[in-house]
Amino acid sequence: MSMRISVLGGGSWGSVIASMLAEKGDVLLWCREKEVADSVNRKHENELFLPGVHLHEKLTATDDLEAAAADRDVVVLATPAQHMRGILSKASYRFLRGGQLVIASKGIENGTLKLMHEVAEESVPESMHRNIFILSGPTFARELAQKMPSAAVVAGLHPDGSQFIQQLFSLPYFRVYRSPDVVGVQVGGAIKNVIAIGVGIIEGMKLGRNSQSALMTRAIAEMTRLAVKIGANPFTISGLSGLGDLILTCTGEMSRNRQVGIRIGRGEKLADILGGMTMVAEGVPTSISAYQLAQKYEVPMPIVEAVYRVLHEGLDAKEAIAPLMSRSLKEEIYGYGE
């Protein structure tokens, strides 16, 4: 019997996940926009979010959320992080109770400051909690669609389930590792988007590679301090979902968050930038939650704070640099649980 899989989220990332999984089973892709679903079904292409990329011939799409979620063995969530609770509230009652839920969204919910698995736990029956998994790593959708060698990690608290999801997603061009650190994998995947905006700002201001490298490296320290404070393994941040994804998002030309930062560094206004984008730059809303989470747990995250103040409080990017450079001198490694 073929595996029945649904992917909720018809953006570039969701479309590629669905196309990949179509090599393993019967996959139904939910797209919010009817024209996207029609494009996938007629042309095997997501013309709005992933033009020019051919999707698997067996992949089908729908704009009916409840139908997409009903009675599937595996449901993959690839919606923007801030929309995930709303999607689950409308669809989770149709989930197969013994099914697996894989979260491929990266972010921290505004307001509640919840990680994505916590949002899911509040939205699905308790009997499904052990079947919630996180997929994260350095993966540009377009490169993966072109079957360029890539890697990611799946995190879950149920070892057998983690191995099942690991095997399901693994393909000759996609190597998947597994981890029990659900919190650490999510912290890395969420915060790196905020940092990528900061690196982009530096690039837009033409401040050189030294500063970009320093910012990325110190960001690892910030991510690790926060992850440890809320119960993660510090070594997880050195893995694919932390360091790996940080490098990709901060340096890759296809990074939406980096591009937002570059344009801010050149003097453009955030509202104008976001108004012209068809896809979400997750680092913008996540910067709010990340800053507030650091305040809540009293974790020093000066880079995250600087990006937050530039994006949401109107701080001039040039004025954000001096406070970072004039902080009190200290040991390089601190706050990892000692």
- CB of 33 within 8 A of CB of 77? no
Other CB atoms within a 10 A radius of the CB of residue 74 amount to 24
DSSP conformation class of 336? S
Count CB neighbours of 279 within 10 A.
14
Q: Two tokens at 268?
A: 């453009």
- SS3 state at 127: helix
Integer CA distances (angstroms), 335 to 223, 225, 289, 296, 297, in order: 11, 6, 20, 15, 12
Alpha carbon of residue 270 to chain centroid: 20
Classify the C-alpha dihedral 53-55-57-62 as positive or negative: negative
Query: CA-CA distance, 131 to 257, in Å (whole number)?
Result: 31
Find the Cα–Cα–Cα–Cα dihedral 50, 54, 57, 62, rounded to 10°. 10
Spacing of C-alpha 315 from chain mean position: 26
Q: Is 90 a catalytic residue?
A: no
Measured between alpha carbons, how far is residue 9 from residues 101, 104, 117, 178, 207 in Å? 14, 10, 17, 23, 37
The catalytically annotated residue of 192, 206, 269, 330 is 192
Residues 6+ apart with CB under 8 A from 161: 100, 130, 131, 133
Contacts with 337 (C-beta within 8 Å, 6 or more apart), sequence order: 228, 234
Residue 77 parent element (H or E): strand 74-77
Q: Which residues are catalytic?
A: 192
